[in-house]
Amino acid sequence: MPIDPTQPYDDQNIFAKILRGEIPAKTVYDDDYAVAFHDIAPQAPHHILVIPRGRYVSWDDFSANASDEEIAGFVRAVGAVARAAGVVESGYRLLANVGLDAGQEVPHLHVHIFAGQPLGPMLSR
């Protein structure tokens, strides 16, 4: 069920539980600002989710309310994760779903990294 991106942050969302170590994840990156782990239902040979450590519902919330330090740290982490995955040369796609029309399912900001094959058109037609 897509979420309302204007809702208050829900500390019981699945990515909050991953950040607290309450449920497992295949973590590939971890620093002061971000954590990255494999998507549980990969849609490409590489499908990694990068999330900020802070309590942000969506890109809208994060871009409006995160500090400059958090934003810089998160953006740098996304790049570092892609480099560590070795996908810069072959190419990759970033995706952040926000709200209902985008089909955002988890109410904690996450950027998808897709790579490892030609990724097709940007949007389904």
**Footprint of ligand AMP on this chain (CB under 6 A)?**
14, 25, 37, 39-41, 49, 97, 103-106
Between 67 and 93, CB nearer to ligand AMP: 93
Question: Alpha-carbon distance 59 to 98, whole Å?
Answer: 7
Q: Min. distance of Cβ 105 from ligand AMP in angstroms?
A: 4
Between 89 and 101, CB nearer to ligand AMP: 101
Question: Alpha-carbon distance 109 to 29, whole Å?
Answer: 16
What would the two tokens of residue 25 be? 């994840």
* CB-based contact 54:66 (threshold 8 Å): yes
Any catalytic annotation for residue 110? yes
* CB-based contact 59:76 (threshold 8 Å): no
Q: Min. distance of Cβ 43 from ligand AMP in angstroms?
A: 7
Q: Min. distance of Cβ 58 from ligand AMP in angstroms?
A: 9
Enzyme catalytic residues? 110
